[in-house]
Amino acid sequence: MTHLARQEEQTRIHEDARRQLQHLPKVELHLHLEGMMRPATLRSLCEKNQVPLPAHVQASEAHYFATFDEFVYTYHRICQALAQPGDFALLMADVAAYLRRNHILYAEIAWTPFLYLNRGLRFAEVMEVLNEALEAHNIADRVHFLIDVQRDHGLEVGTRVFEQVFATHNQWRIAGVGLTGQEEGFPPAEYRQLYHQARECGLGTTAHAGEYGTAKDIWQGVQALGVQRIGHGIRAVHDRALLDILANQQIHLEICPTSNVRLQRVLTYSAHPVRTLWQAGIPLGLNTDNPALFGIDLSDEYHKVMEHQGFGLREMYQSLLHSVQASFLSAERKHALRQQLTQGWRDVC
């Protein structure tokens, strides 16, 4: 993270506005399950499962990483610490606390099963634990899961994972599928047939694209995969024709400002293209990506774009409506969410 980005991290809007945003109802569509694990939970699971704890979190109550390599190392340590299906129940306690703290009415939370299947865990066992935890924490009506595959794991792995999803999605509160992992050298078009099968099963479709790579990846997500949403998509600003396509087809962008700054996809919050994308008429919503890893709340994302991009509360409310529309919920449930948001935000915008 650059020196200027660190300065922007330290700036604060008025505390009254902070509290106000914290308590307003919200929706979030781009969340990675593993990235919601608190450091205390990671320490507990590392000790239980005899997994080495990353040195930079040994004595800290917050995740910290100075480089992208440290971020990747920490993320994979979290995955390794989840050694048994029951371990996911501890993680879900962190998820429930995050949703309540941020007053999130609905979230779509992604996880990547192959990182565990290749260590002997069974997909159905983990999904059972996750769904039981939703019920135990009384948040089953707030969460659906998205199942990701990493494109750099290859099509054979993607097929193995998605076939399990296609067979069981109605049983496990699975709303959609996604594509993550290394962008460069792994074209999303290879997953065209799997995405076609997902749509035939009634699943929503999204894909990370244009975060690390180029606008070409976004084009493939739109044209080859037929996605309804793009994760990040910030490289679209370099292609005027693509901006027009995203706007005309109303393809939603899952924008994650802090993630992009911390992982140096953009230099600063002020330099983030979210305002340009918004002015191009592209529907978008704000998200945290990996909130515990970055030590942020969804409210913090709102603070940053208001402070450094000039967004107002009315625009924040409109972005929430975009997220509702882009969610993989039924029309009836979307209508109910809009009503809840309208009621919660009517006094501020």
pLDDT in tens, 180-224: 988 888 999 999 999 999 999 999 999 999 998 899 999 999 999
* Intra-chain end-to-end CA distance of the chain, in Å: 34
% of the chain with per-residue pLDDT over 70:
93
Distance between CA atoms of residues 230 and 192, nearest Å: 15
The tokens for 116 are 């565990």
Going by C-alpha positions, the residue among 113, 124, 34, 117 that lies closest to residue 81 is 34
In the block, tokens 């592209």 appear at: 282
In the block, tokens 């976004």 appear at: 218
For residue 327, give the amino acid letter: S
Whether the per-residue pLDDT at 122 is higher than 60: the answer is: yes
| pLDDT confidence band for 97 (50 / 70 / 90) | very high
Whether the per-residue pLDDT at 6 is higher than 70: the answer is: no
Helices and strands per DSSP (H, E), number in the chain: 17, 8
Going by C-alpha positions, the residue among 95, 116, 113, 92 that lies closest to residue 104 is 95
Query: What are 180's strand-pairing partners?
Result: 150
Distance between CA atoms of residues 278 and 284, nearest Å: 7
pLDDT at 54: 78
Give per-residue pLDDT as tens, 286-319: 999 999 999 999 999 999 999 999 999 999 999 9
Q: For the chain, what is the mean pLDDT? A: 93
Q: Quick one: fold of 3-36+105-343?
A: TIM Barrel (3.20.20)
- In residues, how long is the chain? 349
Give per-residue pLDDT as tens, 133-189: 999 999 999 999 999 999 999 999 999 999 999 999 999 999 999 999 888 889 999
pLDDT at 59: 61
pLDDT at 289: 97
Distance between CA atoms of residues 64 and 74, nearest Å: 9
pTM above 0.85, yes or no: yes
Distance between CA atoms of residues 224 and 215, nearest Å: 14
Average pLDDT over residues 274-296: 96
